[in-house]
Amino acid sequence: MRNNHTIIVTGAAGFIGALLSLSEITTTIIITPPNIQSPAERLLNRLHYTREDAAMATCILITSIVFLGGFIAASWLIPNTDRNFHDSAPTPPNPRNRNHRTFTILLPLLILTAMALPACKRGNPTDPNAETDTTESANATSRISARKIKSIFGSTGRTDGEFIYARAIAADQNRKRLYILDRTGRLQLFDKDGNHLTTWWMPKFDFGYATGITVHPEAGNIYVADTHNHRILVFSPKGKILQTFGEYGTDPGQFIFPTDIAFASDGRIFVSEYGGNDRIQVFDPAGKFLFTFGTFGHDENQFSRPQSLFFEGKRNELWVADSCNNRISIFNPDTGQQLRTIGTYGIQPGTFCYPYGIFPLPDDSVLVAEFGNNRFQRIDRNGNSLETIGTYGNQPGQFHTPWSAAMIGSDLYLLDSGNNRIQIINYPAE
């Protein structure tokens, strides 16, 4: 009996320890297979989507499971005997007692399962903030392009050339360099062939990591949206910090979770943010605040996590990946007035599921990285779908929660974030 108790206690301790370890995001990213999203990642994504109700439900469910594990362990540790008060020897075990104990264990589990089911809903085209079954989404997509993968670099890890969920990439066309940020607080530099050159560390990452990076087209300085520190950092091409601006807040010039930076042809700086402000702020080249536009919401001139930006010089337009509204919004950069929107929630070509990255291509088409659909989609400037690239998975040509893209010459670098790698294709196709 003592050995059985030891086994039960050890198993219960391991079970509870495993549940508690789900809160360690980096560890679970390393040990989880590339094509599976861990519970910790799901919880973090819900927080990033500012879905407080879903995040709270997940936390309550995990906590309840931990307590349930303790309850099950304790119930099995209780001796299963029927003693007579006047007898010194126990009576034979009563099968009804064991059945009663089994029912006592299963009842809370059934209740918790019933409580969890309503939260596990699939995507609904009428609900832009609903979750989607990404595997089903990718497989249902038609017109998938048979792009040939030129090469792949990167793997899971913390050493040079490896990544822990890389989620921002930018290219220096003049120096033929790539800059890649991941969840370790590193900014890694690569040559155009994917060879690691050097690593810079963000000066501060206690509260989280940066999610946006843009290279100034003329000076070559690197602008980093230091998201969880609520500021913008400016690095020189040699890695020296030249400038910082912004702090936490809702006033002009302050940020809550800045996500990306774009430059107008006259040098103005556009910064997107979410999680409280959900707006675009405009600064002069020195970082002085000029004006702001947008509020949180789902209507005209509103955003729900604007994640990525680029400035279209020919038409004088600012393109915004309005991620949680599952659309691309185009604005007049001088007035902040919304001109038009592209896309709705969906899995078919021309629709989006969490478009995180938007990147202009030389032929005037736009590449969209769809986090939720595990693919890249190329659209024209009117929003017509030209092709989709990739499906869900970890094989060449497949993607897991891609965030962004960059380009040097004819090489197009696709940031395959969930698989901790970069896939390179030729553009246009050979």
Mean model confidence pLDDT for the chain: 79
259-323-127 Cα angle (round to 5): 145
What confidence score (pLDDT) does residue 75 get? 62
Selection from 368, 374, 415, 389 nearest residue 171 by Cα = 415
Name beta bridge partners: 310: 319
- DSSP annotation string for 20-43: HGGG-HHHHHHHS-TTS--HHHHH
Q: Which residues lie below 8 Å from residue 3, measured CB to CB, with a gap of 6+? A: none
User: Which position has the higher pLDDT, 425 or 84?
Assistant: 425
Residue 32 has pLDDT above 70, yes or no: no
What confidence score (pLDDT) does residue 111 get? 54
CATH of domain 138-426: 2.120.10.30
User: Which position has the higher pLDDT, 63 or 251?
Assistant: 251
What confidence score (pLDDT) does residue 128 get? 35
Burial class from Cβ neighbours inside 10 Å (0-12, 13-18, 19+) for residue 35 reads middle
Note the pLDDT tens digit of each residue in 357-402: 999 999 999 999 999 999 999 999 999 999 999 999 999 999 999 9
Selection from 232, 190, 196 nearest residue 212 by Cα = 232
CB atoms under 10 Å from CB of 426, counted, come to 14
Radius of gyration of the chain (CA): 25
Q: What is the 3-class SS of 185-254, one letter each residue?
A: CEEEEEECCCCEEEEEECCCCCCCCCCEEEECCCCCCEEEEEHHHCEEEEECCCCCEEEEECCECCCCCC
Residue 167 has pLDDT above 70, yes or no: yes
Burial class from Cβ neighbours inside 10 Å (0-12, 13-18, 19+) for residue 100 reads exposed
Find out whether 21 and 28 touch, Cβ atoms under 8 Å: yes
User: Which position has the higher pLDDT, 209 or 388?
Assistant: 388
Q: Which residues lie below 8 Å from residue 49, measured CB to CB, with a gap of 6+? A: 129, 305, 324
User: Which position has the higher pLDDT, 12 or 29?
Assistant: 12
Question: Would you kindly state where each structural domain of the chain is located, as residue ranges?
Answer: 2-120, 138-426
Note the pLDDT tens digit of each residue in 233-259: 999 999 999 999 999 999 999 999 999
Selection from 421, 286, 411, 309 nearest residue 355 by Cα = 309
In which band, very low, low, confident or very high, does the pLDDT at 427 lie, cut at 50, 70 and 90?
confident
